[in-house]
Structure 1
Amino acid sequence: MTAASLAQRTDQVAAVAAEHLARTDRDASFPVEALAEMRRTGLLGLLVPASHGGLGGTTEDVVTTSIALGRTDMSVAMIFAMHCQQVAALVRYGNQRLRDELLPEIAAGRVYLASVTTEAGKGGHLLSSESALTARDDELLIDRFAPIVTGGEYADGFLVTMQSPAPASPNQVSLVYAHRDQLTVERSGDWQPLGMRASHSVALRLTGTVPAHHVVGEHGDFRTIVTTVFAPMAHLGWSACWLGTAAGALSRVVKLLRGPQSRGRVNLDSELLLTRLSQARQRIETVHALLAHTQQVVATTDDLSVPRVQLLLNSLKITAAEECHQAVDGLIDAVGMRHGYLKDSPTRLEHSLRDLRSAALNYSNDRLHLVDGKLALLDAEVRLA
């Protein structure tokens, strides 16, 4: 797959997302048309190896695509990035039988994956679970409630975290794949958020039975998957989506300011305006540089569990969440009420700001700061990744 081919597929998905953007945000409805285009173009199989019919893409390809989709619709970008996170876990840790059964289906666009990791009482904390997975003969019994499942009502399959069979502690967590037709899927409540409205992250209860070979990795060893795949892919993918959203917002503002409709109405020599634009660009460039550096470290480091790498990954997530939101917030000040605050502005700053407000809450920055404080105490020499 060439870069041009990937860009063309991404542009096709982005065009469909843009066509339905106003409706999906207004109605908090899942972008089914954009998902259908991801299926048709093969983007759902970006990380599936060519040997299983996929595009054989890389983490760098996921980042590039997520940035591009984020420029148009952050919900669509996040749906794509989170699906890729699930695929990456299957490619690396799925057993041969499960990979042979499932990866060709993903590559063909027939399986869109949702992540079931949230749990009432623990939020998005990944390394513990109170929901017990029961083993019976050659089957695994699933009974799992999750308060937030992005795209869950439209998913063809789920990767579900649960407490391992006969665990010694709640921290012995397993990851299990379940196809939709193996489950009873019950929705609970509604989805009416401030932003990220098209992500349609409703609460679901999943009950059913799957074959024993649907466990991904070893029972009780989900921590390894988190350290090597889930956390790196999440922080790289999410940050790329947020970066794309902020960059897209700045691009629309600059095009508006330079367009014929602004001639004679906007003073492009205004020191305040120029300073606001500079600050927004600086924030975006900072996130872009940190994202590129983190991506390189992840690609070239064998042990991602060491404190300096974990600190870098968490710093990327925290910085991207804060700086991208602040960049758009500053642009609202730059262009004022008409083009910063009102919904019908072509800059779409109001929409971007609402979406980006979720970034600091999506695995809370406060929680990550507590983790990073402890990690910092383990590295007195401050060795930088």
Structure 2
Amino acid sequence: MTAVPERPREPDLTNALARVREVTEAHVVRTDREAAFPVEALDEMRRTGLLGLLVPVEYGGLGGTVRDLVVAAQSLSRGDMSVGMIFAMHCQQTAAVVRYADDRLRKELLPRIAAGEVYLASVTTEAGKGGHLLTARARLAGTADRLEIDRFAPIVTGGAYADGFLITMRGPGDAADTDVSLVYADREQVEVTGSGDWDPMGMRASHSVPLRLAGSVPGHHVVGAPGRFREIAGTVFGPLAHVGWSAVWLGTAAGALSRVLGLLRSPAGRERFDLGSELLLTRLSRARQRLDTVHALLAHTVEVVESGEDLSRPSRQLLLNSLKITASEECLAAVDGLVEAVGLRHGYLKDSPTRLELALRDLRSAALNYSNDRLHLADGRLALLDRGVTFA
């Protein structure tokens, strides 16, 4: 378990986010260059209690909502998309524990998350199954009281630095590959072995390395009913992934636009750029329009998710998928347009204060993070089920 620095927690969300962003800014160039996990930013999330944003107050958390998650993810991603993604995915895991873990596991785990002791990583990828979230190949073994885990995952965001893991695994015996359970393992309960390097084009600080986890956990560490991960995916994992990721991408693009506007309005920028240029103004307008479109779609989707209504209906599944697809495409397009707007020196070179080059590399991963092609196929089938073309 990672040691928690001794420092009073700051319950105010705005101040906590400002502190994490300050630390992030001090290290973002290095963590990108070295493909290094942002340990300093994570430590500040621990100190401020941000890791407990979605933990209910009765367990010592901040009692935040999905709307708070969106605000926080956007804010953190303005400085570094990797930091925002690490945080959003941790919150997705936390929400699954809050909603589906039994009383014993909630009492054991949630106060530790709230205290900053546990950063959660997601172990859902698996070699040979592509991006199929609702299937698993590795089987659980053991008894009802003690479960044996032996699991390899080709991508685990922040896994080398996680204090706990939520792992998807196939049921024991002759269970079908769709009989998937979600299991929590504390880092002290499993042997964690890295098996590869992480040297990607973007999202370099996310440190999404391959890992093997082997060990055993108590039977009550199954989150939700055994074999019922599909329900968790439909109510928590899927919705919070699409909402959280979209907030991260929007924050990244908004941060890029803000830095460009700061450059243009600075004394040096006014000398270098013609602020009356119709081409420049048009490109700025298009970038802002794209971000406002994503922001509006995100705000509407959050309302639907927070309404408590059945998210499995075709119109709501279509909305969630549309948010992910639209945000991934429009945020990247907005930053790409800004590169054109400010040109080679401030759009393409790594040493520009706009950091457009970093934002562009990071956002290129968005369409690949659960492939847009896969979502379009799902949406085509869902559209056939909604003859009336209803809207969520």
TM-score normalised by L of structure 2? 0.96
How far apart are residue 134 of structure 1 and its match?
A: 1.1
Q: Aligned residue for 1:203?
A: 210
How far apart are residue 302 of structure 1 and its match?
A: 1.9
Determine if contact 1:111/1:156 at 8 Å carries over to the other structure: yes
CA distance in 1, matches of 2:318, 2:14: 32
How far apart are residue 13 of structure 1 and its match?
A: 0.5
Return 5+ residue gaps in structure 1 as ranges. none
Residue type of the partner of 1:108?
A
CA distance in 2, matches of 1:226, 1:315: 17
Q: Aligned residue for 2:5?
A: none
Counterpart among 67, 71, 96 of residue 60 in structure 1 = 67
CA offsets 1:101-120 (integer angstroms, 9 cap, x no match): 00000000000000000001
Residue type of the partner of 1:6?
L
How far apart are residue 265 of structure 1 and its match?
A: 2.2
CA distance in 2, matches of 1:68, 1:292: 15
Determine if contact 2:74/2:250 at 8 Å carries over to the other structure: yes
Q: Aligned residue for 1:361?
A: 368
Q: What SS class does the counterpart of residue 271 from structure 2 fall into?
A: coil
How far apart are residue 96 of structure 1 and its match?
A: 0.2
Return 5+ residue gaps in structure 2 as ranges. 1-9
Q: How does 1:168-207 map to 2 (within 5 A)?
A: 168-207=175-214
Residue type of the partner of 2:161?
Y
Determine if contact 1:328/1:352 at 8 Å carries over to the other structure: yes
| Residues 1:268 and 2:275 are matched in the alignment | yes
CA distance in 1, matches of 2:306, 2:42: 28
Counterpart among 219, 242, 247 of residue 212 in structure 1 = 219
Counterpart among 158, 166, 170 of residue 159 in structure 1 = 166
Q: What SS class does the counterpart of residue 185 from structure 1 fall into?
A: strand
How far apart are residue 167 of structure 1 and its match?
A: 5.0
CA root-mean-square deviation: 1.1
Determine if contact 2:69/2:91 at 8 Å carries over to the other structure: yes
CA offsets 1:316-349 (integer angstroms, 9 cap, x no match): 0000000000000000000000000000000000
How far apart are residue 128 of structure 1 and its match?
A: 0.3
CA offsets 1:264-290 (integer angstroms, 9 cap, x no match): 321111111011000000000000000
Q: Aligned residue for 2:255?
A: 248
| Residues 1:229 and 2:236 are matched in the alignment | yes
Determine if contact 2:11/2:62 at 8 Å carries over to the other structure: no
| Residues 1:331 and 2:353 are matched in the alignment | no
Determine if contact 1:167/1:220 at 8 Å carries over to the other structure: no
Q: More deviation in 371-380 or 118-127?
A: 118-127
Determine if contact 1:49/1:57 at 8 Å carries over to the other structure: yes
How far apart are residue 4 of structure 1 and its match?
A: 9.1
CA distance in 1, matches of 2:142, 2:309: 33
CA offsets 1:152-180 (integer angstroms, 9 cap, x no match): 00000000000012354110100000000
Counterpart among 279, 282, 285 of residue 286 in structure 2 = 279
CA offsets 1:294-330 (integer angstroms, 9 cap, x no match): 0001111421111000000000000000000000000
| Residues 1:147 and 2:145 are matched in the alignment | no
Q: What SS class does the counterpart of residue 305 from structure 1 fall into?
A: coil
Determine if contact 2:253/2:332 at 8 Å carries over to the other structure: yes
The sequence identity of aligned pairs, in percent, is 69
| Residues 1:48 and 2:55 are matched in the alignment | yes
Counterpart among 350, 355, 361 of residue 343 in structure 1 = 350
| Residues 1:303 and 2:310 are matched in the alignment | yes
Counterpart among 17, 22, 27 of residue 24 in structure 2 = 17
Call closer, same or farther: CA 1:263–1:302 in 2, change over 3 Å: closer
Q: Aligned residue for 2:299?
A: 292
CA distance in 2, matches of 1:188, 1:123: 19
Q: What SS class does the counterpart of residue 181 from structure 2 fall into?
A: strand
Determine if contact 1:74/1:242 at 8 Å carries over to the other structure: yes
Residue type of the partner of 1:253?
V
Residue type of the partner of 2:352?
S
How far apart are residue 124 of structure 1 and its match?
A: 3.1
Residue type of the partner of 2:385?
L
TM-score normalised by L of structure 1? 0.98
CA distance in 1, matches of 2:132, 2:263: 42
How far apart are residue 137 of structure 1 and its match?
A: 4.9
CA distance in 2, matches of 1:265, 1:215: 60
Counterpart among 312, 315, 331 of residue 319 in structure 2 = 312
